[in-house]
Chain A
Amino acid sequence: MSSFSVTEPSRRLKWIAGLLVVGYALVTLMPLMWIIATGFKSSSDSIAYPPKVVFEPTLEGYVNLFTVQNRASPEQLAANPPETWYEQIVHDKGMMISGPSRFGERFMNSVIIGFGSTFLSVFLGTLAAYGFSRYRVPLKDDLLFFILSTRMMPPIAVAIPIFLMFRATGLSDTHAGMILLYTAVNLSLAVWLLKGFIDEIPREYEEAALIDGYTRFQAFYKVVLPQAATGIASTAIFCLIFAWNEYAFAVLLTSGTAQTAPPFIPTIIGSSGRDWPAVSAGATLFLLPVIVFTILLRKHLLRGITFGAVRK
């Protein structure tokens, strides 16, 4: 009989573990793959039964997503021959492009509001967390509990008061209003997460910097911030994911100028109610920024998860 070690699992166990992981990944990634695939289907393929796994890809969904189209008579179609590949796609359906859709605008709103509120939450959160971590703040524990308590109710429970406040202050349907709201919701999470990270950084480093001739702020900036990078990155990802995906407040408080992508995407389905490829195309594009942002910060995030374990 061969011996086995406690630390190294057997080959067979590794295989089973591998299969389980692959199986789990398939289950969770399937809906995502389906959305991405649907974005490249034609409208009829997208609702075909039984569902089509193999299909002829088309960019029709993406073209529909970014344009507004009108049905055109054969004479109009003949008078305006298509000049580009996307005009060709529309032309082939007997339609003509009458202008760009709102999607680009809504997407930019999401970017501005999502990243803007993430920046503000992390910026304010870092300063507050540093203060709570390092200074003797009167009523510190009560204040920290108060900050946490702002997250205890589901945010939407306060929707009506917020709606009224926004209307009274003219913040409804403004970028500033949405940034403010998402920052307010995220800030408690940011303060608590970051305080945990900053608590882990020994004070001796800052004290050494003070003795080395730096001011308190310089010590914070040159010694604490670089070491809190992990915490800042993970916090930023959490804040962005919330702000990016937030739907309920966006529906309630935005309609025109500041509308973000989540409330807009369902409206893409169109009057016919069958344009699933365009909806999927919108969803696919909408997923990208968070994925890219997470991948960019992945190194920090992984270190963040194992923080503390590797430090001491």
Chain B
Amino acid sequence: MAEVRLAGVTKSFGTTPAVIDMDMSMGHGEFMVLLGPTGAGKTTTLRLIAGLETPERGDILIDGRSVVGETPAQRDVAMVFQQYSLYPHMTVRENLAFPLRSPVLRTPPDEVRRKVQQVAETLQIAHKLDNKATALSGGEMQRVSIGRALVRDPALFLMDEPLSSLDAKLRADLRVELKRIHAELGATLLYVTHDQIEAMTMATRIGVLENGRLVQIGTPREIYEQPLNLYVASRLGQPRINVLPANLFPGAPAGAGTIALRPEHIRIGQGRPASVVRIEHLGDQTRLHLVLEGHPVVTLSEPDLDLEPGDTLPIEPVNALYFDAAGARIA
């Protein structure tokens, strides 16, 4: 458990900026999720904190101590990599024991055995302990690599899209599992992903990254309900938020360039007429694809609504989000 603070951290590769002037602090036991698309700088942020990259500017503090000059080993962080996570020439047991046997920890053999067994049971891989690391399914490999972080008791856990290579069912299972483990250990955890569901379900706070910049930090609810700009608004919500010219509907505030509508911001029954293009039944939700004056609009509807493509139905905004021409939120 530790507090972590980034102050103006900047890193670029040649002329490509990867992380720009990042300020962030995490409290004890926090589960922070950085959300951003590929190339947003998520991996670079974790590598900077782990000590695998050196920042050009700025400071990184763990429990108030600047770690910029320290080696990865000295920083006492554990990291789960996006890929290539297990040492392929070792068994599962050796992989899990590897951090414990390091010259930093020098754990006695009895304790190594006990901890490895314990972590293996938590992650339900105890029956695979003597397998070669390469003789595992994707899900098992990822569990082992999470386990390799868990056997230690580091100041900070860093996880780089640990679930992105797994199938949907396993991902859902491990999300719950990770959340449970986090609650149990009370550890400070920085988790990066491009998956909004992972961010929404696991985070105590979400940081939204855009091209190396941290655009907004807040609880999942704050980020969802009070996005600072159009970019943040469009990162969360399924179906994706609808972005339309503000003058399509009456009542836009002065200076508004665009209006953004989530399904819950769209009331069906009165307002401007939109025509139905397609109806998708996804089981848990029914998506209505509409066109309003040439602009596509996707919203949700009751599954038993009696509509067909070509029908017209009126829609109007309720508590919509408004943004100015530059994309900053104004209402």
Contacts and interface: CB of A to CB of B under 8 A. Distances in A.
B230 to A, nearest CB: 35
Contact of A212 (B52, B83, B88, B102): B102
B84 A213 contact: no
A205 interface: yes
Given A214-B73, A223-B87, A208 B103 contact: no
Contacts of B148: 208, 212
A212 B103 CA distance: 10
B276 interface: no
Interface in B80-129: 81, 83-85, 87-89, 98-99, 102-105
Contacts of A193: none
Interface string B164-188: 0000000000000000000000000
Q: Which of B78, B81, B102, B104 has the most CB of A within 10 A?
A: B102
A207 B52 contact: yes
Nearest to A311: B88
Contacts of A223: 87
A214 B102 contact: yes
Interface string B257-289: 000000000000000000000000000000000
Given A208-B85, A208-B87, A227-B88, A215 B103 contact: yes
Q: Interface residue tally of chain A, by bracket?
A: 10 to 19
Q: Dominant SS at the B interface? A: loop
B89 A227 contact: yes
A301 B59 CA distance: 48
A212 B99 contact: yes
Q: Which of B50, B98, B148 has the most CB of A within 10 A?
A: B98
A211 B78 contact: yes
A39 to B, nearest CB: 42
Contacts of A208: 79, 81, 85, 87, 148
Contacts of B105: 213
Given A215-B103, A227-B89, A209 B77 contact: no
Nearest to A214: B102
A210 B87 contact: no
A223 B84 CA distance: 13
Q: Interface residue tally of chain B, by bracket?
A: 20 to 34
A205 B95 CA distance: 11
Q: Dominant SS at the A interface? A: helix
A227 B90 CA distance: 10
A211 B89 contact: no
Contacts of A99: none
A213 B106 CA distance: 10
Nearest to B106: A213
A205 B89 CA distance: 11
A76 interface: no
Contact of B72 (A202, A205, A211, A227): A211
Contacts of B102: 212-214
Interface string A207-242: 111111111001000010011000000000000000
A211 B87 CA distance: 13
Given A211-B79, A213-B99, A213-B102, A204 B84 contact: yes
Given A209-B98, A227-B89, A215 B73 contact: yes
B66 interface: no
Contacts of B78: 211-212
Contacts of A214: 73, 102-103
Nearest to B80: A208
A180 to B, nearest CB: 33
A204 B71 contact: no
B104 to A, nearest CB: 4
Contact of B50 (A202, A205, A211, A213): A211
Given A205-B84, A205-B87, A227-B89, A210 B52 contact: yes
A209 B81 CA distance: 12
A197 to B, nearest CB: 14
A223 B83 CA distance: 16
B293 to A, nearest CB: 49
Contact of A210 (B72, B89, B152): B72
A310 to B, nearest CB: 10
A204 B73 contact: no
B89 A226 contact: yes
B88 A210 contact: no
B81 A210 contact: no
A202 B72 CA distance: 18
Q: Which of A202, A205, A212, A223 has the most CB of B within 10 A?
A: A212
Contacts of A202: 83-84
A218 B79 CA distance: 18
A204 B83 contact: yes
Given A210-B52, A213-B104, A215-B73, A204 B98 contact: no
B154 to A, nearest CB: 9
Given A204-B83, A207-B52, A218-B103, A212 B98 contact: yes
Q: Lowest 6 CB-CB distances: which A-B pairs, in order?
A: A213-B102, A213-B104, A212-B99, A204-B84, A210-B72, A226-B89
Given A210-B52, A213-B105, A215-B103, 4 more contacts: A204-B83, A205-B84, A205-B88, A213-B102
13 contacts: A202-B83, A205-B88, A207-B72, A208-B148, A209-B98, A211-B51, A211-B72, A211-B73, A211-B78, A212-B98, A213-B99, A213-B104, A213-B105
Interface of A: 202, 204-205, 207-215, 218, 223, 226-227
